[in-house]
Amino acid sequence: MKHTHPRPPWLFSLTLLGSVLLIAMSLLVIIGWAFDIQGLIQLRASLPPMQLNTALGFILMGMGFWSLAHQRSLLASMFGLLVIVLGIATGLQYPMGADFGIDQLLMEQPLQHGVSSPGRLAPNTALAFALSGIVLLSLSFARHTGWLVSLGQVAGLLISYLALESLVGYMAGLESGYGWFSFTRMALHSAFLFFCIGGLSVVWTSWELISIWRRQSDEGLDLNNWLDSAKQARLRILWNVTLIMAMASLLVGVTVSRVLLHSEWLQEENHLMLQAERMAGVVQAFSHTRQTDAEGQEGLLMDYLRHGDHNGLPRDPHSLASETLIARRQGTGLHWLGGSGALADVEQITKPLAYAPDEAMRRALQGEQGIYTGQDRQGREWLLAYRPVPDSSLGLVVGLLAEEIVAPYLHAFLFAGVLAGLVILVSALAVLLRVNPIIRRIEGADKLEQINQNLLAEIRQRKRAENGLQQLTQTLEQRVQERTQTIEREKQQKQILNQLLQIHQARGVLSDKLESALAILCSQQWLGLQPKGAIVLMEEEGCHLRLSAQLNVPVELQKVCSRVPVG
């Protein structure tokens, strides 16, 4: 018999509250896009907006949780699949550099602050939606396959981490917390809603795990069904310890790595700008000292680029930058005259700052100094510092491949990940070793309980056999008694027949014989005869019956019955 535990009222109310919050805030954002109300879209002008597809994804999640609350698992799984498709399809556009046409499918959206492509979800938003859809699927089929509950629990924890990382980034003023590289940033209200989704997911999966354990304990023995045997107990302990430590390591490691990377990026921007300013200042000083014209300045810079530190032009020893090029202003544009290394192939800033491309291109075309991000012909991202030379049409661009900044931290993060994995594994094994004696005791108790049950079953079986033997013995005794009684009666019947035969053979009056025979028959109690009434013996004589003998017949009746016609 299956025992099902109904969902508690507080879980139903909490889920409905979360669903209403998701749907209501998403509808407000859609109204903001429809009527161009910026306060609903991005809360503040300096914050990234919530995209229209993001609002649509939150509505699907709200409907999914609403369906779960009303126990409509199939409908919830359909909403989960739609959210997974939305997250994966959007996320694949970033590494593939493609446009599937889903970003502005519902409405054309202008490019805003913190957005790399109009209408496109942030990569961390797309990942969070894919994980949210997995949560809906796992909760929809949690009662049929228990391992999905653990998958949903991991997905819920990852969603909470992504949301918490973005919220901490907003509170600490770290753009790297809510944005990945130069791509679209996660909106503040999106981070808040994802935090609500993560909390609901963790609460739901935890309740489902408790429900499964209770259902297993209701179906049989406590030890066997609650722990699913000692081997599964070890796996559960190892899984829980590893999951907790992995999430803690991921939270600490990624947060520290992103903060350090952001700090290094800012520091390298300052180094690049400082080097460009130094070079521009030295070129200006040499041109004034030697009365160098524009062509002389070009030659000085080109010579510097070809031969390195020449004529006293300095390099920043603290900067990683080794690529430099010269630019000349032509009207409102810039023309690269030449450079050193791979940066010489950069003919123009093909992809300026991802979060403000229009403003970055305007500043670059006007030749204003500043920091830019660009891509070369090979698609590699560069960090560029542009500095115009005073009193000249020339400018200096100092560049650094972004991967040179990111690569050491990626290597360090991978190394830290491997090290953290080893630490987690060792810690899990240590915990398992500490728990192993308890598991062994549980195994011993389980074996003793199994032996006890086997003994009880054998005792019950023997009792049933003894009861069967008793019933058989009683039946046999009863049959023996019946047979004995039958034999005794047969003996009595033979005796009676012999006595009656002797009376018949003896001489005497018929009435006396009849009286003797009746006395013998009435003396047998088992026949149940009582000597009451009258008995007559009639003899057929032609058409009449003649009275031959009588017993207890009155005299007046003897005369009447002495001769009567037949019939």
CA distance 471 to 454: 26
Residue 369's Cα: distance from chain center in Å?
52
**What is the pLDDT at residue 238?**
60
- Distances in Å between the alpha carbon of 483 and those of 100, 487, 494? 99, 6, 17
CA distance 136 to 82: 11
pLDDT tens for 46-86 read 788 899 999 999 999 999 999 999 989 899 999 999 999 99
HEC string of 421-471 equals: HHHHHHHHHHHHHHHHHHHHHHHHHHHHHHHHHHHHHHHHHHHHHHHHHHH
DSSP string, 262-325: HHHHHHHHHHHHHHHHHHHHHHHHHHHHTT--HHHHHHHHHHHHHHSS-TT----TT----EEE
**What is the pLDDT at residue 200?**
92
**What is the pLDDT at residue 21?**
96
- Measured in Å, how far apart are the chain's first and last C-alpha atoms? 79
Can you read off the two tokens belonging to residue 526? 């088992």
**Kind and range of the H or E element at 41?**
helix 38-42
**What is the pLDDT at residue 431?**
64
**What is the pLDDT at residue 317?**
45
Can you read off the two tokens belonging to residue 190? 């999106």
370 contacts: CB under 8 Å, gap ≥ 6: 363, 385, 386
Choose among 433, 432, 429, 423: nearest CA to 250: 423
User: Does residue 539 contact residue 531 with C-beta atoms inside 8 Å?
Assistant: no
DSSP string, 52-120: HHHHHHHHHHHHHHHHHHTT-HHHHHHHHHHHHHHHHHHHHHHHHT---S-TTSS------TT-SSTTP
3-state DSSP assignment of residue 535: strand
Phi, psi dihedral angles at 325 (to 5 degrees): -145, 165
CA distance 239 to 159: 19
CA distance 132 to 432: 32
Tell which CATH architecture fits domain 268-406: 2-Layer Sandwich (3.30)
Can you read off the two tokens belonging to residue 553? 């017949």
Residue positions counted in the chain = 567
DSSP state letter for 240: H
Beta-bridge partner residues of 538 = 547
**Under-70 pLDDT residues of the chain:** 1-6, 110-114, 142-146, 176, 182, 213-262, 282-382, 389-396, 402-403, 406-421, 423-425, 427-436, 438-439, 442-443, 511, 527-533, 551, 567
